[in-house]
Structure 1
Amino acid sequence: MKRLLSLLLITYLCCSCSKDVWLFTSFHEPANEGLRMLYSYDGRHWNDLNKTLLKPEIGTQKVMRDPSMVHGKDGTYHLVWTTSWKGDKGFGYASSKDLIHWSEQRLLPVMAHEPTTVNVWAPELFYDDEADRFVIIWASTIPFRFPRGIEDEDNNHRMYYTTTKDFKTFTPTQLFFDPGFSVIDAVIVKRQKNDYVLVLKDNTRPERNLKVAFGKTPLGPFENVSVPFSKKFTEGPSVVKTGDEWLIYFDTYQDKRYDAVRTQDFKTFSDANADILVPQGHKHGTIFKAKKKVLKGLRE
């Protein structure tokens, strides 16, 4: 009870003094209902809006998994997501000015040029402020393209990317990251100019845990892959900076809960679970800031 009262007090104080809120895109299994969202005033203690904001209408399975969102400098929210476990050669895209009214959904066929592509998983948006462009990365399997180790050919992922300035024209798809093992769920983090971190899931057996790599540009090359900072059966990292430290949220899916670690240098990590509160059922999304009036509109 004391911990709950403390969390409520922290939330109230943060709500009173901040002009912005944190939003966390989300979905619930089996992912057919659509986009959900959490909100927070401090980036640590999260509340569920308890509603779906956008129902998936495209793709082979018509699901919305791994929703990733960024807020463009023109005020537009851009959303990408996984539309199917297998079969699609692209991912979903839609945009909105207020997170209530949405554009028509489109399937962006980023792997159409590779006919044997098994899947297109977890597209992740990153705004490259230095080049004024959006970078989109995702995991795909192309059988017999890379050494597979002990993985099946249809489960041997590498990361690919495209860039765009307007979500109408896109650069040709290219290989983004090949660490020599099956990799999914990668997230680009900018610390400062010429200093980027890639948070990733090593999807190989027996690893299936989270690691980091380092690069000088948002397109890499990312090198010096670390040892794991999470235990096995973890995925879907989301990164947010609060104060002088970074929080990395992730899905500990075997235990059916969301966990977090804190770090200042992406080399040493410590457990942050005592300082966070994530509603049950939340799944892989991204964290971004929005004005309080946006949250007010969503709640109403």
Structure 2
Amino acid sequence: MIFALLAGLATPVKAQSIGNAPAYIFTYFKNNGEDGLHLAYSYDGLKWNALNKDSAVLTPKVGEDKLMRDPCAIKGPDGLFHMAWTVSWKERGIGYASSPDMIHWSEQQFIPVMAHEPLAQNCWAPEIIYSKADNNYMIYWATTIPGRFPETDQKGEKNHRIYYVTTRDFKIYTKALLLYEPGFNVIDATIQQDGNRYVMFLKNETKKPVTEKNIRVAFSKYLTKGYSKASEPITGKYWAEGPTAVKINNKWVVYFDKYTEHQYGAVESADLKNWTEISAQLKLPEGIRHGTVLAINKPELDLLIRYFNQDNK
């Protein structure tokens, strides 16, 4: 079963080649996400500078609450940046837009990914990954459907699992299916490819009877199924959420929101087994919240810096 959604997308452009000098962009939100998308950049993945004087570069326009929380952006093989985000605390859909340069954006879409589940309470932290093998994109997110997993229901608490759809054109989507059931309340999944396997970083959202609130890892040979039992926590004795991962100098770096401490943290690993805390090395814009780090080439970053850091645009 599929559902279609008409949309005004930006015209695809030819993908640019990756330059010799890599750079990184952090897409994020601040406060409750009412003002929209924020961007920061870095050359080493540790020291980050806000673009546009840390003012929003894109205003949310879809959804009842018109929020732009948890913005996830990737660059597709079509040369476009594709971005999804949380539009509301309680709606059964997500936001989507595309851009050739992260400056000029297509018309925003509301994608009703859980419209067929009348009891679904939310769609949180959507992420996008491109599957070269299947020549399509997978969008995945966390949703609570009361009574669906009664063995981990807790009174007064949501009980999320990770769901997904696939699409080739961001107009027609497959019906949402379950992606990951780890046996606990799980949110904030983010997936990266590591050789011939996929790595899912996720948050154990369990609060009762024992509080977890930590980041873990699972692995699969297949993008849409077969993820392993979640690892032990890779984060420390603090509450962490919103992981985003990127490989820098042959090491995986996982950033996360230490949301009760109002600061960001990070851990790194060369083998995805042994993790080192590097939070003290980070320098990030004040008030940064759950977002995504992605590698871009230097010409792309130079364009963003010239555009957003000039006084009169």
TM-score (norm 2): 0.86
Contact 2:153 2:159 in 1 (8 A): no
Q: Are 1:35 and 2:37 counterparts?
A: yes
Q: 1:233 pairs with 222, 239, 242, which one?
A: 239
Q: 1:35 to 1:170 in 2, by over 3 A?
A: same
Contact 2:152–2:183 under 8 Å retained in 1: no
Instruction: Give the paired residue count.
Output: 282
2:150 aligned with 1:147: yes
Cα 1:288–1:294, aligned 2, differ >3 Å: closer, same or farther?
A: farther
Q: What secondary structure sits across from 2:34 in the alignment?
A: coil
The residue correspondences of 1:64-79 to structure 2 (distance < 5 A) are: 64-79=68-83
Indicate the residue corresponding to 2:221 in structure 1: 216
Displacement after TM superposition at 1:221 (Å): 1.1
Question: What's the counterpart of residue 272 of structure 2?
Answer: 266
1:18–1:41 CA contact under 8 A, matched in 2: no
Give the drift of 1:131: 2.0
Q: Distance in 2 between matches of 1:27 and 1:217?
A: 31
Which residue of 129, 136, 144 maps to 1:133?
A: 136
Deviations 1:61-110 (A, max 9, x none): 11110000111122211111000011x11100111112222111111000
Partner of 1:294: 303
Give 1:266 shift.
1.6
Task: Report what 1:166 is aligned to.
Answer: 169
Q: How many percent of aligned residue pairs carry the same amino acid?
A: 43
1:114 aligned to which of 117, 139, 142: 117
Alignment partners' CA distance in 1, 2:137 and 2:288: 26
Counterpart CA distance in 2 for 1:223 and 1:98 is 36
Distance in 2 between residues matched to 1:213 and 1:84, nearest whole Å: 27
Q: Residues 18, 48 of structure 1: CA spacing in aligned structure 2 closer, same or farther, 3 A cutoff? A: farther
DSSP-derived class of the 2:173 partner: coil
Amino acid at match of 1:83: V
Q: Contact 1:118 / 1:154 at 8 angstroms: preserved in 2?
A: no
| 8 Å CA contact retained: 2:28, 2:38 | yes
Instruction: Give the whole-Å Cα distance in 2 for the aligned partners of 1:253 and 1:48.
Output: 19
Give distance in 1, aligned partners of 2:153 and 2:144: 14
Question: Within 2, Cα distance between the matches of 1:124 and 1:21?
Answer: 21
| Equivalent residue in structure 1 for 2:204, among 202, 205, 208 | 202
Partner of 2:46: 44
User: Which of 42, 58, 65 is the matching residue for 1:61?
Assistant: 65
Greater relative contact order, per chain length (Cα 8 Å cut-off, separation 6+): 2
- In the TM superposition, what is the alpha-carbon distance from 1:19 to its structure 2 partner? 3.6
Matched to 2:272, the amino acid is F
Once residues 151 and 157 of structure 1 are traced to their aligned partners in structure 2, the CA distance between those partners, rounded to angstroms, is: 11
Q: How does 1:61-100 map to 2 (within 5 A)?
A: 61-86=65-90, 88-100=91-103
C-alpha distance in structure 2 between counterparts of 1:121 and 1:203, whole Å: 13
Task: From 256, 280, 290, give the equivalent of 1:284.
Answer: 290
- Partner of 2:303: helix, strand, or coil? helix
Task: Please name the residue that 2:159 is paired with.
Answer: 156
8 A Cα contact 1:144 1:153, kept in partner: no
Tell me, yes or no, if the aligned pair for 1:20 and 1:292 is still in contact at 8 Å. no
* CA-atom RMSD in angstroms: 1.6
Preserved CA contact (<8 Å) 1:24 1:286:
yes
Cα gap change, 1:64/1:48 in structure 2, threshold over 3 Å: closer, same or farther?
same
Amino acid at match of 1:147: P
Specify the code of the residue in structure 2 equivalent to 1:180: G
**1:196 Cα deviation after fit:** 1.4
SS at match of 2:216: strand
